[in-house]
Structure 1
């Protein structure tokens, strides 16, 4: 939380679905302009999903387990 910066983050989950970490991208507002944010969000979410899957996270299994 520094003035003049923006950040985008996504959770990284373990095989139980517990958040064990996060992936964050931080940059100056001059480089993280409004029109770039949707792309940054997509990339960060995909990278966090891949990291979670490497830890054994399977969203389909978790959803079945908790009846979503």
Structure 2
């Protein structure tokens, strides 16, 4: 959510209220953590989801592990 807070120019500490959502409203963080950390061979694992809160965000976590957040035009 910090990346989305940066995109929206919102203090990350205020983001649940300011953005009207939290990441766990959309995805189970434990399941995501298991998917990305418990897999011995992470090659080819990509998580791609879209969050909606009156705005739309594309969140990708490619197999390299870096988080990519974009706000579609």
Q: What is the TM-score of this pair, normalised by structure 1?
A: 0.30
The structure in which a higher percent of residues are helix is: 1
